[in-house]
Structure formats: C-alpha cells, structure tokens
Amino acid sequence: MKLISACLLGVRCRYDGASKPCQKVLDLAKKEVLIPVCPEQLGGLSTPRVPVEIQNSTGEEVLLGNP
C-alpha cells in the first residue's frame, strides 16, 4: 500500500476544484493498492478555495511564525 495525492488519481480536490490525473499514477493503481489523500483537505482547507502561496518568504519562516 502506498499513499498518493488524490488529485493525481483524478479526485477533484485541487484548490480550483479540478484534478490533475497522472498517467503513471493511474497505471500504478492497476498494480498496487494506492491510498488517495489530499493534504490540503486534511489540513482543513475547502475545495474549491482561493489559491494561496508564500511570497517574499520561505516555508520554514512561515512554520516558525515569521511570514
């Protein structure tokens, strides 16, 4: 079993309500048990949602509370 980003399996969970299927992942799903997860949804974000990105900072700074 492997965890895989749900949008790569065709689940419409991206910020814009779309999916981003990946043929390599879809092919792997025929051979392996894949567990789809959406980290953004697990973190409480809705779908669809306004896009968010870090600007003029790093992810580390944001996690340290210094955006």
Only one residue has tokens 């306004």, namely 50
pLDDT along the chain (67 residues), means of 10: 96 94 97 95 92 84 82
d(CA 54, CA 56): 7
Give Cβ neighbours of residue 33 (< 8 Å, ≥ 6 apart): 1, 2
In the chain, where are the structural domains located? Answer: 2-49
Token pair recorded at residue 60: 């580390």
Which pLDDT value is given to residue 67? 64
* Contact assessment for residue 46 and residue 17, using Cβ atoms and an 8 Å cutoff: no
Quote the Cα angle for 29-51-38, to 5°: 25
Which pLDDT value is given to residue 66? 78
The predicted model scores a pTM of 0.72
